[in-house]
Each structure stands twice: as C-alpha cells, then as structure tokens.
Amino acid sequence: MPITKKEIRDNALRFALEWRDASRERAEAQTFWNEFFQIFGVSRRRVASFEEPVKKLGEKRGSIDLFWKGTLVVEHKSRGGNLDKAYNQALDYFPGLKEEELPKYVLVSDFDRFCLYDLNENTQCSFLLNELPEHIDLFGFISGHQIKVYKDEDPVNIQVAEKMGELHDALLDSGYDGHDLEVFLVRLVYCLFADDTGIFNAKGDFEDYLRNKTKENGSDTGSILANMFQVLDTPYEKRQKTLDEDLVNFPYVNGDLFREPLRIAHFNGAMRELLLECCLFDWSKVSPAIFGSLFQSVMDRKRRRNLGAHYTSEKNILKVICGLFLDDLRREFEAIKNDARKVTAFHNKIAAMRFFDPACGCGNFLVITYREIRQLEIEVLQQYFMLTSKMYKAGVTQLETDIETISKIDVNQFYGIEIEEFPARIAQVALWLTDHQMNMRLSQAFGQTYVRLPLQHAPNIICDNALRKDWETVIPSKEHLYILGNPPFIGKQNRNAGQMADMDVICQPLKAKGLPNYGVLDYVALWYIKAALFIENSNVKVTFVSTNSITQGEQVAALWEFLLRKGVKIFFAHRTFKWTNEARGNAQVFCVIIGFTWNNTTQKKRLFDYETPQSESHEIEAKNINPYLIDAIDIVVSSRNKPLCNVPEMLYGSKPVDDGNLFFDDDEKVELLKKEPKAEQFIRRVISAHEFINGKNRWCLWLKDIAPNEWRNLPELVKLVEAVRGFRLKSKKAATVKLAEVPYLFGEIRQPETNYIVIPLHSSEHRKFIPTGYFSKDNILHNSCSAVPNATLYHFGILTSTMHMVWMRTVCGRIKSDYRYSNNLVYNNFLFPHDISNKQKAKVEEKAQAVLNARELFPNSTLADLYDPLTMPKALLTAHRELDAAVDACYRKTPFQNELERLEFLFQLYSSYTQPLVPAMDAKPKRKRMGKG
C-alpha cells in the first residue's frame, strides 16, 4: 500500500535538509538516489538499476546513471553542472533501448536543481532541492499516487481573478445571487487554494472529485459541492461510516467557513467547465494581492465607483507597511540578532503587535502585512536556533521541538472593518490562506510539515460601517497597535446621500472645534479625522493611502488645521504618485501615503518624492513633514479674499452661462457677419485658457452697455439672445432662471477696465511654468482665466518666476494631477518680495521683458509649444533662468538650490506674516500686511 502524502512530504523535507550541501557526482550520487526513492516508500533496487550499459548512436557505448525500464531515465551531474547537456545526453541513449524500455520520464539533477521531463505530455518542470516537498506530486509514478498535469508554467495572476469573475457572472445570470453567491464563491476560492497547497491530503483531490463525480452537463455539480462543504465542516468522529470513500480523507476545516447552509447552486455544462478551468491554475502560487483583484473583477464599474474601491497593488501596499513598521523592525533585528536574549525579546515584541484596517475591503493590506510579519518571525526563529542549538548551527535544521509551538503569530492579531459582506468574507479567507502559505515556509525552514487544521483562530473581520462603528469595540487595546489601509477614494462631488450622512455624523460635532468647512472634504478625510480622535493620548501609528487632494488646495486648511490641533504629527509620507490596476474597470488614481502619530516629535521623518507621478520614488531625510508633504514647518494656507501683500487684486473672468450661444470660432464668426454685417461692432475677442495656451481665436457677442435699439433689429443677434434666454429658463437653479431677464449679458461679468495680466486657471502638470500674458481691456476675459488689472512688468516677472510657480504647485488644487490656480488660495497668499531696492525691481522688469522677447522669437509657436518641457526653446529657458535669478535675489542674497528650499523659505515667510497655525482654540488671529512690492 502506498504511503500517505503527509509521510512523503515529511520525508521530502528531511531529504532536502540532509542533502543541501552535497557536491560530488559519483561518490554520493547513488546514495542520493537511493534515499530519493525512499521518500516515496520505494526501494530503488526493486525498480531501477545504476550504470545501465546501453549502446548510443553510432558504435559508441555508454551507461545510464539510473534506469527504470519503461518508466524513468536519470542523468546526474555535479553541483552547477549543465542540466540541458544532461538531458540531451539522456536522449542519446534512446536509440539503444527496446520499444518497451523507452521511458515516460527523464529526470536530470545536480543535487541542488531538478528538472523532470514528461515525454508523453511534452512538459517539463524545474525546481530547487529545497522546493522538493512542494513538487512531490510530480513523482506519483514512483509512489503509486497517480500523477496529474498542472499548469505550472502559468502563475496565478489576474487571469485567475478574471476566470472567477466569469464563473460569478454565469451564476448570477442564472439567478443564483446575493448572499448565497458571495459565500459560495468564497468557499470555492478556499477549496481551489487548498487543493494545490497541501491543506487537502493530496494535490488535486478537489479537482478529481469534481471531474470524476459530476456529470458533464453540470446538473449535479451544485449538490455535490454542497455535500462536500458539509463534510469539510464535520469532525472526523462525527462523519457517517457510509460516507463516500473519496470524501473520507477531506479534512475538517472548522472556522465557520463551511457552516452556514446555502441554496444549492444549479450548474450547467458550461458553468461546470468554467469551474474545472479554475482548477487547472496552480493556486499554490497565488499572491495574496490576487484577492483584491478577484473582488474587483466581479464588480461592475458603476458599483465600484460608488464604493470607492480601488485595488491597491502589492508594490504600493509594501510602501505603506515598510514605512509604518517593517523597515524599523528589520533595522532593529539587524542590530540585536547576535544576542539570543534580545532575539527572544524581539520575537515577543513582534508577537504582541496587532494590525487594524478600518476600510479593509478584501483584505489586501492585512494579508500582505501578515505575510511580511510571519516571514520576519521565521527569520527570527532561524537566528535564535542558530545561536542556541548546536545541531541547528551544524546544519541539522530539523527540530525535535514541534514547530507549532514556536510560532507565536496568528491571524487573530488582525482586525478589519468592511461595509460589504463579500469582501469581508474574502478578507477572512485570504488571511487563513496566507497563514497556510507561511506555515509551509515554516515547515520548509525547520524540516517538519505543519498544517494548522482544524482552524482554531479567526481574523477579526466585521461587516459594518467603519465611520459609524466605535473602533474601541473592535480593538481590545491600543497597545502595540498599527492602523493601515486605503479608505474609499470618493470626491466631494461624487458622495451619495449615505456618505454625506456619514460626514455629518463625524464632523458636525466637531464643527465648532476646528472643522467648520468640512463640506469641501473628500470622503477619505473622515478616516483621518476618526483615526486622529482614536489615537489621542496613545502610541498608535497610522498610515493611509489616499487621493492627493487632501494635501492640496482648500482641503488642506479644512482638514489639517483640525488634525494639527489634535496633535497629529506626520512621520513619513510618499508624495503624489500614480497607479493603475489590471482588474475590470482599470482605475487610475493619483495618490499619497501619509503615516502619522499623536504628538510624536522625536521619530525620524522619512519623505519619499517622485520626479513624476509615474516614476520611482527617492527618499529625502526631512526635519519635519507638513500637510503639503514637504520638509517645512507645520502650517496651512487658508483662503483669503484680499492679497496678503499690497499688490493689485486678482479677479476671475466673466462667466457666460449661455450654452455656447454667445461664442464663435473663426469660421462661425465669418458666417455670422455674412448674414449680419452690422454685428461686427459687437463682436469681441475672448481670452479663455484653451485658446490662449494653444494660440486659437475665440469670439463672443458682447452687449454690455449697448443700447437696445442698436441691436434689437438685427435678427441673427436676436436669435442668439433668444437661445440664451431659453437655455436659462430651463435651468433647475433659481439664480440661472433669473438671469433669463437679461439674456444678452454674460451671467457673471468681471471684465477688467484696464490692461491686465492673464493666468489660466487650469494648466498641465508637465509645464514648469504656467503661461501668462498681457492683454488690453478690449479683450473679454473668460472665467477659465484670472487676471491682474493694473499690473506692471515687475508683477509679471514675479508671477512668471519659479518662486511663484513652486508656491502655486504646492498650495493650489488639482484636477487629477493638473494645476488648478486659485485667486484666494494661491495669489492672495503669495508673498511678493518686501522692501526691495529700485535697482532690484528694475532688474526683475528687465528680465521679465527678456522672457516676452524670447517668446517673440518664435511667432508661429503657441504657448503650448513654447512651454512644453520637450520643446521649450533654449532662448526662452535661458530668459526664465535669468528672471529666476533676479527674483530670487529680491528674497535673499543666497541663491536657492532647489524647489524644496524655496518652499521652506516661503512657508517660513508666510508664517511670519500670519498667526501661528495652532493657537489656543479661542485665540483671535493677528494679521500683518506687507508693504508695497
């Protein structure tokens, strides 16, 4: 009778450990293969011979290293030998063999590496000696256990998630839906994983049972699965003696995973085939992050947007956990690893750590955190036994101690809250599966097989609204606690009624305590607020991934003034970066990562910056990280209605509210004037952002201060005005309907009465400079731009300088990653140079004119051409550099080395002219106004 799979796996572990240092070929090779066959309970002498003589091609003779007639040829090399050459050498023996002696398999090895060729299936599988326990099923032809073909070359990746998505869709379309469908899919995921990883007794038992016991038309697939699920929830001693013998060896899983009765899922042939296709993937290679993708792949785009679910890649999750705790732990371990007592204390420390994701989704953050902390524990245990065990130090890594007793970390140290049931269940199962993966690694490290069944502990994942739930009822203690995750990415304009109610529940009680403008916040900000309240007076550390909007524009003051008042300190951060995912819907998000604590000012600050949102990060050692994620003092810039310094006021352009009826391009203007030549006197050029930057013309009908008798008898103009009136009357906004009383005027008129500098409100992130320009008052300023009337060449120079641009890039809002200029936030808070000499001012004006002159050297190029980083002319670039030098000299004598240095200076300057950011709650701000620039 063949020995059991567990015995084979234990034997393989021992074999791998004992032979890890072998190097010679002839002296040890035969012992190596004798013991190899003993792994499977087979005496080599009974089936195979060494050095079998055989005639090769031509007249040459040779000898096969190990020959099992009709089954196997083995060719063996010294460590590091050429295995491809060994395989070809084995094939050279075939012509000298009889037909019945030809092998089904060729196995080549150099002690450390193996490659098995299945000649019937035309497949091969390569692996290392230490991976042998994971590949014992390849050698079913030795042990008597039937071998099967698996897609070893196909790693479990996004294709698996998509295939599960197809099965989900097929079941849903058939009418199997809701809670039952969600639980059913989670159970299938567990079984598919268990089938390939040793949780079930033999690899492929689950697939074999489905393939052999169910009808091809799928009619009984659902009922047979239901029966299997019931068996998996039944202890061995309580199972009927008449149970199908093929089900007897399936383990008792426990953990409530298979407990709840479900409706029977009725399959058809196509659905059964989909499930069997899922079985073909090698689930032992599953990445924990696959469960995030799995969850995404079964949601439609609209629902995903409503939930704010954005699948986070493993790479980005590692950015979070490394900065939150892992880098620090590894540095600490490196420092103490040669002291057994300290290693033990360190092991106890990591065993006491607990992790909480208050928006856990399908558990990606918790799963990868669990994997990494267990991996660290394995390394700690190996180091401990290296220091304390002579046998282990000598290379005998198999312990007499039961490894189940030395691992102290389990899934019940992990907590999560998820509002949807399906992802909450996925999170729980994903943690169990990752636990098994790590137990396999522990087994490999210490030469024992360890399967944690039946499940004794469960992850603490609850299905609830994390914003309404009291976190202290979920977490028993704040000691050794780390909070992490990526809360929903939902902008203020996309919140539904329930989410708006969540904001009121969290923020309304805090309105008088520093959150008066919470209505402008993105939904994700609520997790920052709730976490700040939760960690007060504790050592809890928090790290969230979120949209970059909470570090830009008006949200900074609305959110961070409150957080700073509550004692929040940022200890590490990643500035804006971009990720996409490969699941259905392919979400793209511009993100930041922010790690914070309560009143911890001593910890080293780590800031990661990106040259572009798509590039790799580089670390900056920071003294302090402020809410804009720069190395500068903690300060927020609040919107103000008047400039902080004595400079001309900036105004927004006029807003038409006309449905396009008052505007024309060049062709439309020509066509109108053909029909109505007298209308020319009422047509004015429009300065709007797109046309200004791209060198295009746009025109409008401008009837401000025009007497009615001058145009009411021009039918084409009357027709246009009537169209505007009809559009405004259809509006649901009362203010717009009222504007129908004056349909010949722009809805909001803010036209400069003097010549002005124009600044587009929206500009590409790729431009180093926002293009600015001079225009006469006859050009109508559109509301896509702002203007500074009465501005001088000096003002133009300052506004065009890098000093102003770095301020703008930091405090402005964004649309995705593009700039959104703001009068009240950017311009009114920007500090022009103070108390400068006439000579300095003249220098700025000279260099500002040089910028305009450099533009004129390229009359056929648009501002988009001139300010594209790839095509910016050298003459213009030089002019800007010289302007920057002149402007910088107005601020200080020492040149600025980079943008971050400029920002640090500007924030210090801003702080000196405004009140301290975190005064007592009842203190009134004291403001200074700067002198003339």
Structural domains present in the chain: 5-143 (3.90.1570), 158-286 (no CATH), 489-636 (no CATH), 654-749 (no CATH), 759-933 (no CATH)
For residues 130 and 444, the answer to whether their CB atoms sit within 8 Å is yes
Q: Looking at per-residue confidence, does 733 or 931 come out higher? A: 733
Residue 567 Rama label (left phi>0; alpha psi -120 to 50; beta): left
Q: What percentage of the chain carries pLDDT values higher than 70? A: 89
pLDDT of residue 931: 40
pLDDT at position 919 over 50: no
Sequence length of the chain is 933
One-letter identity of residue 903: L
Structure-token pair, residue 392: 């282990």
Provide mean pLDDT across the span 562-570: 94
For residues 532 and 568, the answer to whether their CB atoms sit within 8 Å is yes
Mind listing the pLDDT tens digit for each residue in 55-113?
766 667 788 889 998 899 999 988 888 899 999 888 888 888 887 788 989 999 988 99
Q: Reduced to 3 states, what is the DSSP secondary structure of residue 780?
A: strand
DSSP 646: B
For residues 142 and 105, the answer to whether their CB atoms sit within 8 Å is no
Q: Reduced to 3 states, what is the DSSP secondary structure of residue 416?
A: strand
Structure-token pair, residue 544: 């969230």
* CA pseudo-torsion sign 382, 388, 394, 400: negative
Q: Reduced to 3 states, what is the DSSP secondary structure of residue 417?
A: strand
Q: What angle do CA 579, 584, 588 make, to 5 degrees?
A: 25
Q: Which of 598, 633, 602, 549 is nearest to 918 (CA)?
A: 633
Q: What share of the chain is helix, strand, coil (3-state, %, to 5)?
A: 45, 15, 40
Helix orientation angle between 874-891 and 793-800, rounded to the nearest 10 degrees? 100
For residues 113 and 128, the answer to whether their CB atoms sit within 8 Å is yes
pLDDT at position 579 over 80: no
Q: Which position has the token pair 């020959």?
A: 67
Give me the chain's average pLDDT, please: 86
pLDDT interval class at 390 (50, 70, 90): low
One-letter identity of residue 529: I
pLDDT interval class at 776 (50, 70, 90): very high
Provide mean pLDDT across the span 227-246: 91
Q: 450 — phi, psi (to 5°)?
A: -135, 110
DSSP 50: E
Structure-token pair, residue 726: 């009809």
Provide mean pLDDT across the span 599-610: 83
pLDDT interval class at 122 (50, 70, 90): confident
| 385-390 contact pairs (CB < 8 A, 24+) | 387/338, 387/340, 387/343, 388/340
pLDDT interval class at 26 (50, 70, 90): low
Q: Which of 563, 500, 496, 558 is nearest to 528 (CA)?
A: 563
pLDDT of residue 198: 78
Q: Which of 126, 127, 253 is nearest to 194 (CA)?
A: 253
Residue 510 and residue 522: Cα distance in Å, rounded? 16
pLDDT interval class at 479 (50, 70, 90): very high
Provide mean pLDDT across the span 592-608: 88
Residue 213 and residue 220: Cα distance in Å, rounded? 9
pLDDT of residue 289: 60
One-letter identity of residue 54: V
For residues 760 and 812, the answer to whether their CB atoms sit within 8 Å is no
pLDDT of residue 127: 93
Q: Which position has the token pair 């409503």?
A: 306
Structure-token pair, residue 856: 């004129």
pLDDT interval class at 292 (50, 70, 90): low
Provide mean pLDDT across the span 156-182: 85
Mind listing the pLDDT tens digit for each residue in 653-679?
999 999 999 999 999 999 999 999 999
**Stretch (H or E) spanning 428:** helix 421-446
pLDDT at position 203 over 50: yes
Mind listing the pLDDT tens digit for each residue in 692-722?
999 999 999 999 999 999 999 999 999 999 9
Q: Which position has the token pair 């042939």?
A: 269
pLDDT at position 149 over 70: no
| 451-455 contact pairs (CB < 8 A, 24+) | 451/198, 451/199, 451/251, 452/404, 453/199, 453/251, 453/252, 453/253, 453/254, 454/235, 454/251, 454/252, 454/253, 454/254, 454/255, 455/253, 455/254, 455/255, 455/257
| Helix locations, 648-764, DSSP H | 666-675, 689-694, 715-729, 734-739
User: b vs e for 339-376, b when ≥16 Cβ sit within 10 Å of the residue's Cβ?
Assistant: eeeebeebbeebbebbbbbbbbbbbbbbbbbbbbbbeb
Q: 413 — phi, psi (to 5°)?
A: -90, 5
pTM of the model: 0.74
